[in-house]
Amino acid sequence: MIKKLLILLLCLTLIQCHTNSALNKKDYILVDTLHVARNGFNVIIDYDVILKIDTSYWSASMRPNGTIRSLDRKLNIKVCGKH
């Protein structure tokens, strides 16, 4: 029973590692980095960022290679003035 569970967990991990992001780097603009998550060896695991997708802003988690791990929620940001 435990062997089957371990094999299932290994398969799920491998599938998750090989999935691609739904957004390409051309589809969003990185606005700001909120937090950098590191492991015990000071290696970056992921970033918490704000992205601009079309005309809306989203909080997201991004891997170090630039792929989006997850879009967390849409933000209500009002931009004043021109940039």
pLDDT in tens, 36-69: 999 889 889 999 999 998 888 999 998 888 888 8
The pair phi, psi for residue 9, each rounded to 5°, is -65, -40
- What's this model's pTM, rounded to 2 decimal places? 0.64
List the domain boundaries for the chain.
Answer: 23-77
In angstroms, the CA 35 to CA 46 distance is 9
Q: Say if residue 35's pLDDT is above 90.
A: yes
Arithmetic mean of pLDDT over the chain: 81
Place of tokens 């990185």: 30
* Burial track 17-47 (b if 16+ CB lie within 10 A, e otherwise): eeeebebeeeebeeeeeeeeeeeeeeeeebb
Token pair for 22: 């739904």
